[in-house]
Amino acid sequence: MSGMGNPRVERVEAAGQAPASVGESPVWRAAEQALYWVDIPAQKIVRLRLDSGERAEWQLPEKVACIAFDHRGMVLAGCETGLFALTLTEGAPRDGEPVKVTGRKLAAPLFAFDDMRFNDGRCDRQGRFWSGTMVQDMAAANPAGALYRFDERGVLSEPVVDALITQNGLAWSPDGTTMYLSDSHPLRRQIWAFDYDIEAGEPRNRRVFADLHHYAGRPDGAAVDADGCYWICANDAGLLLRFTPQGKLDQQIAVPAVKPAMCAFGGSNLDTLFVTSIRPATGASEHDGHLFAVRPGVSGLPEPEYAGEL
């Protein structure tokens, strides 16, 4: 396994002293030079402006698991009961309380069970929003989850990939012709690659890209760099793993948190990899649940915006 040295991973103190319970879905918004992410059980979206260290929070009426932006700065959010359009208004909350946000529901799948929600999600290179669902009780190991496409016309597809336990790891190659998807449940620990029809928005020819039973951890959230390599958070192992487009592990970076959840490239040159993390219910360290930053020696790609109107 080749490497790029041992880059230093730093905790982003400006992100706040209070750790997230489940920090997920980091998104770099270049127009604001700011990083956004969510805390799922806290029902919050958080923003950090890197230059000033200014932090803002928005409170939703239900759990929010993933976010994307449109060209106007509206948020498309995957939540408990469906997909929502959100306007994150600027406010001056008293006593450090977050600004309350009520969204407009755009679409919802027919959930097979009561205890389900959306999980990992992002836009493809053409601006279609993709997200998957999961049964929230992971101990049930219920493969009722599915992956959906929400296109630029505002139409939610039928399940495109089904029988998922804990959908994760969505990402696309730089040219958009390969789609990646993972199932991070302990019983699965698989990353798949698909040939992606960029005109139709259809993934085909599913195959195993990496089986994390052969490595450490569970494959959680992911990002693709400018070289086309796939970075995956190895949850429960405190690692970031980088796989080449051929599925070969060629770099790993240790993270101070045992449960890194999702990573995203950001910063003015897109050369910083931001990593959110989950705080375990027991035995948490001082770093678990915090935000981290590392310069891995490679740059990322701009996060695509949703192509429709919210």
Q: How far is 101 from 196, CA to CA, in rounded Å? A: 35
Q: Which residue has the tokens 């599915």?
A: 146
Q: Which of 16-30, 229-243, 281-295 tops mean pLDDT?
A: 229-243
Domains within the chain, CATH numbers bracketed: 20-222 (2.120.10.30)
pLDDT of residue 2: 44
Asked if pLDDT for residue 95 goes beyond 70, the answer is: no
**Residues in a beta bridge with 207:** 193
Q: 3-state SS of 253-293? A: EECCCCCEEEEEEECCCCCEEEEEEECCCCCCCCCCCCCEE
pLDDT of residue 280: 93
How many CB atoms are located within 10 Å of the residue 124 CB? Answer: 21
The secondary element (H helix, E strand) that includes residue 169 is strand 167-172
| Residue 47 in marked binding region | no
User: Based on the number of CB atoms within 10 Å of its own CB, is 292 exposed (0-12), middle (13-18) or buried (19 or more)?
Assistant: buried
| Residue 119 in marked binding region | yes
| Residue 220 in marked binding region | yes
| Residue 188 in marked binding region | no
pLDDT of residue 6: 79
Asked if pLDDT for residue 94 goes beyond 80, the answer is: no
Instruction: Say which of 39, 220, 225, 236 is annotated catalytic.
Output: 220
| Residue 24 in marked binding region | yes
| Residue 142 in marked binding region | no
To the query of whether residue 220 is one of the catalytic residues in this protein, the response is: yes
What mean pLDDT is reported for the chain?
A: 94
Among 23-37, 91-105, 195-209, 263-277, the least confident range: 91-105
Q: Which pLDDT band holds residue 3 (cuts at 50, 70, 90)?
A: very low
Asked if pLDDT for residue 301 goes beyond 90, the answer is: yes
Handedness of CA 259, 203, 179, 37 (dihedral sign): negative
Asked if pLDDT for residue 186 goes beyond 50, the answer is: yes
